[in-house]
């Protein structure tokens, strides 16, 4: 098996943000999975973007301000500083647009207008919402949540959105509904760009799933915005899932469909490898990923890869009081 050659310029931030083996192995794993080498992108070192590139990045982040959103007092602070907007907006996972972290430019190809979100399956009131409907129907609030990726890096992010349970109330699931399946936008002509063309063999579209009780939990959130603005495309515009007690891959981006179903749905990562990406995927420092430890994480707060601190991972990412009773 050949190892992927990682160009030096993007080895530094990745290695600093993620335990090197975690980062390297996930990509190596995908490489072996799809049976061929990945196109390597040469990424700028975080914090060392050219002025021109930085300006372009800022433009993707700050297009539409959301006016006067109240911060939910229960989620107004976390035990760590907030991740800076610039870092969060240039350090993303969005595999439809590439396998590296710096996909923010490629993600601008995502068409978000008009957007329809279909809610269907075992519900009394199926719906097709557009973005106006969502904003009018569900009062928006801000919540600052810890965010933990399965790759062992973490952030603290200020999301704007509404609790998933409000949508449950609106569509009224029937008593047969036990699980919920979420599907991300997918169009092979737009997503799966040149850097990731081999990814065409992965089980697109990106899908995720929850038990209905998990979706009804107070913490489960749909985000339409972040840092006081509507979601930039790299963060999963115009609507994505945020589940702070689970690994980040459970939070599907750019959702187009929600289906209430009677059995556990197939999901993207779980289909690729159920042992590595279990359906539940709760943050758990005592349960290592098969190829790396989950005991600690690199917290991406501010500065560059050299200043990111390593912290102990918290069970349920620190949200046990809300969710431990579900398991
Ligand atoms: N959703 C889609 N559609 N495609 C993806 O590749 N990556 C997941 C999740 N949602 C992903 C996705 C992973 S692995 C993580 S860690 C988070 O999005 C990253 O969210 P962020 O880039 O906004 O920080």
157 lines ligand 1 (CB under 6 A): no
| pLDDT tens-digit series, residues 290-299 | 999 999 999 9
Choose which residue among 251, 254, 268 to substitute to test ligand 1 binding: the one with the highest number of ligand atoms within 8 A of its C-beta: 251
> Average of pLDDT values for 113-138?
96
The answer to whether residue 326 scores a pLDDT higher than 90 is yes
> In the predicted model, is pLDDT for residue 248 greater than 90?
yes
DSSP secondary structure letter of residue 130: -
Q: Are 319 and 221 in contact (CB under 8 A)?
A: no
Least confident of 56-60, 117-121, 264-268, 286-290: 56-60
251 CB within 6 A, ligand 1: yes
Answer yes or no: is the C-beta of 89 below 6 A from any ligand 1 atom.
Answer: no
Reply yes or no on whether the pLDDT at 39 is more than 80: no
Neighbours of 21 (CB within 10 A): 14
Lowest-confidence pick of 9-23, 52-66, 170-184:
9-23
DSSP E strands, the chain: 117-121, 127-129, 141-148, 153-163, 179-184, 207-211, 221-226, 229-230, 240-242, 255-261, 296-299, 309-312
User: Helix or strand or coil: residue 246?
Assistant: strand
What mean pLDDT do residues 59-86 have?
89
Cβ atoms within 10 Å of 37's Cβ, excluding its own: 12
Q: Is the CB–ligand 1 distance for residue 92 below 6 Å?
A: yes
Q: How far is CA 142 from the centre of its chain?
A: 17
**24 versus 189: which is more confidently predicted?**
189
Establish whether residue 207 lines the binding site of ligand 1, counting it when its CB lies within 6 angstroms of any ligand atom.
Answer: no
Please indicate whether residue 249, judged by its CB atom, sits closer than 6 Å to ligand 1: yes
Protein residue whose Cα sits closest to atom 10 of ligand 1: 252
Q: What is the DSSP letter of 28?
A: H
pLDDT of 316 strictly over 80? yes
Residue 58 has pLDDT above 90, yes or no: no
Q: Which residues contact 51 (CB under 8 A, 6 or more apart)?
A: none
Task: Establish whether residue 270 lines the binding site of ligand 1, counting it when its CB lies within 6 angstroms of any ligand atom.
Answer: no
pLDDT for residue 60: 84
CA–CA dist 235, 155 (Å, integer): 13
- The domains located in the chain, with CATH, are 14-63 (no CATH), 70-326 (3.90.420.10)
Asked if 185 and 242 count as a contact pair (C-beta separation under 8 A), the reply is no
3-state secondary structure of 163: strand
Q: Closest ligand 1 atom to the C-alpha of 91?
A: 22
Q: Which of 13-27, 115-129, 131-145, 179-193 is least confident?
A: 13-27
Residue 49: what pLDDT? 63
Averaged confidence pLDDT in the chain: 85
Q: How far apart are CA 269 and CA 264, in angstroms?
A: 14
For range 123-147, the mean pLDDT: 96
Q: Residue 18 — φ and ψ, nearest 5°?
A: -130, 150
């Amino acid at each position: 098996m050949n190892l992927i050659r990682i160009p030096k310029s993007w080895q530094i931030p990745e290695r600093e943000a993620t335990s090197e083996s975690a980062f390297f192995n996930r990509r190596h794993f995908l490489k072996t999975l799809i049976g061929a080498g990945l196109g390597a992108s040469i990424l700028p070192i975080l914090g060392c973007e050219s002025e021109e590139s930085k300006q372009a990045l800022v433009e993707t982040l700050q297009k539409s301000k959301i006016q006067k959103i109240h911060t939910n007092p229960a989620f107004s602070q976390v035990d760590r500083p907030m991740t800076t907007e610039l870092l969060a907006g240039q350090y993303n996972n969005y595999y439809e647009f590439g396998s590296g972290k710096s996909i923010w430019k490629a993600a601008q190809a995502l068409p978000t207008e008009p957007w329809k979100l279909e809610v269907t399956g075992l519900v009394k009131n199926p719906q097709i919402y557009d973005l106006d409907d969502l904003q009018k129907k569900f009062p928006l609030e801000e919540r600052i949540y810890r965010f933990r990726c399965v790759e062992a890096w973490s952030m603290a992010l200020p999301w704007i959105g509404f609790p998933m349970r409000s949508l449950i109330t609106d569509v009224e699931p029937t008593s047969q509904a036990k699980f919920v399946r979420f599907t991300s936008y997918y169009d092979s002509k737009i997503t799966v760009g040149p850097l990731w063309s081999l990814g065409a063999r992965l089980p697109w579209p990106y899908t995720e799933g929850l038990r209905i009780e998990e979706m009804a939990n107070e913490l489960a959130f749909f985000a339409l915005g972040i840092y006081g603005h509507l979601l930039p495309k790299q963060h999963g515009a115009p609507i994505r899932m945020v589940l702070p007690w689970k690994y980040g891959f459970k939070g599907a981006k750019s959702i187009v469909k929600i289906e209430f179903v009677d059995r556990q749905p197939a999901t993207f990562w779980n289909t690729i490898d159920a042992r590595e990406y279990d359906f539940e995927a709760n943050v758990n420092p005592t349960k290592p990923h098969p190829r790396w430890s989950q005991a600690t994480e690199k917290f991406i707060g501010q500065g560059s890869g050299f200043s990111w601190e390593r912290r102990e991972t918290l069970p349920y990412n620190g949200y046990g009081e809300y969710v431990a009773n579900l398991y």
